[in-house]
Amino acid sequence: MKLSLDTSQLDFQHSLARMLDAADTPSAVRAWARGEHGPGLAVWERAAAMDVFALATPEAYGGAGPLPVELAVAFVELGRYAAPGPFVETVAAAALLSRLAERGAAAPAAAWLPRVRTGEARVTLTLPGGSPYALDADVCDAVLAVAPGTDTLRLAAGHGPVRPSLDPARRLARPGDGGEPLAAGPAVREAAAYAADHAAFAVAAQALGVGCALLERTVAYVRQRTQFGSPVGAFQAVKHRLADTLVGLEFARPLVFGAAVALASGARSAPAEVAAAKAAACDAAYAAARTALQLHGAIGYTAEYDLSLWLGKARALRTAWGGPAECRARALELFPGRLFFE
């Protein structure tokens, strides 16, 4: 299977990276954590202008998607730059509404997808198998909810108080009770599972980007920090720790893009491949966070130091939309004869 990006995908990756690099995302993340959404919404609008949400929106609603490989490219960069906002949840909501439209419930898709595509509408959601808390509900135009054990999609009536997360920029709230029913029946349950797979997939790609950023920042730091008159990065133990981190990330990368290919083709193995990719990518990002913290020393514990923004995100993404143990169990349950992990 060919997992290398083509020229247009690489151009998209480089353009998105340039935009995010110029957007001063660390400042936007800190403002978002304080509840000041302006800088983060400016990043959101720029991402929308680069058609990030169009990648998850079907052509029937003005989009170019679904294009999971291109979405993986986008989410790796969003993770690399720690962009704040409900990117994962909005893309998952697009998957949910799109699948419902395919099953005959087109009204919710017609109402929301054209606005999601342009970035005008921010949507978050809760689904069976995920957290009962909706991400960034206080900045979203809609909170979609499918309660566990039910087959009804509703537009939640507001949300409860915002709660902190391991990542201060991930603001969580419970959807309000009641609300307008949008669709009901077996199609809702199937669409919710489909959307949850897309959420886990986007988190996996985002975590891969977070891990890469942590490794890049740590390599730069150990090159300029000295002990006994030599750069710390020259010490063999440090080299081994960084090499192990790189191996973990490079092992996760083909799993993430392999899951994208499986989603794009509608392969029966897609849910298992998504679960495997999420476990591997989130474990690799978490290992990168531990390496970064150890090699930075005391400064790594300082909240004012930008490294903390990626450390918190690596920890939070590890359990978002399924923890590593849950994902491994899901992969083995769906395909018990297939070896995903050594």
Average pLDDT, integer, range 151-180: 91
Yes or no: say if 154 and 179 are a contact pair by the CB < 8 Å rule.
Answer: yes
What's the pTM?
Answer: 0.95
Residues 168, 262 within the same domain: no
- Report pLDDT digits (tens) over 231-281: 887 889 999 999 999 999 999 999 999 999 999 999 999 999 999 999 999
Confidence of residue 142 (pLDDT cuts 50, 70, 90): very high
pLDDT the model gives residue 338:
55
Q: Looking at 92-96, 189-193, 330-334, which range is the least confident one? A: 330-334
Q: Give the residue from 135, 162, 189 where a domain finishes.
A: 189
pLDDT higher at 301 or 113: 113
- Report pLDDT digits (tens) over 274-331: 999 999 999 999 999 999 999 998 888 898 999 999 999 999 999 999 999 999 999 9
Number of H helices and E strands in the chain, helices first, is 11, 8
Tokens of 299: 């400064």
Residues 84, 111 within the same domain: yes
* Residue 18 belongs to domain with CATH number: 1.10.540.10
Yes or no: say if 171 and 138 are a contact pair by the CB < 8 Å rule.
Answer: yes
DSSP 54-94: GGGSBGGGT--B--HHHHHHHHHHHHHTT--SSHHHHHHHH
Residues 49, 108 within the same domain: yes
* Residue 218 belongs to domain with CATH number: 1.20.140.10
Q: What pairing do the DSSP bridges indicate for beta strands 230-231 and 226-227? A: antiparallel
- Report pLDDT digits (tens) over 18-45: 999 999 999 999 999 999 999 999 999 9
Helix (H, G, I), strand (E, B) or coil at 150: coil
Residues 167, 252 within the same domain: no
Dihedral angle sign, alpha carbons of residues 317, 318, 323, 324: positive
pLDDT the model gives residue 341:
46
Please, is 86 exposed, middle or buried when counting C-beta atoms within 10 Å of its C-beta (0-12, 13-18, 19+)?
A: buried
Residues 152, 18 within the same domain: yes
Q: Give the residue from 129, 161, 189 where a domain finishes.
A: 189
Confidence of residue 342 (pLDDT cuts 50, 70, 90): very low
In a domain, 240, yes or no: yes
The alpha carbon of residue 81 and the mean position of all alpha carbons in its chain are separated, in whole angstroms, by: 12
Residues 170, 294 within the same domain: no
Confidence of residue 334 (pLDDT cuts 50, 70, 90): confident
Q: Looking at 22-26, 95-99, 155-159, 292-296, which range is the least confident one? A: 155-159
pLDDT higher at 284 or 158: 284
**Domain span at residue 69?**
7-189
Residues 11, 133 within the same domain: yes
pLDDT the model gives residue 336:
63
Domain count for the chain? 2
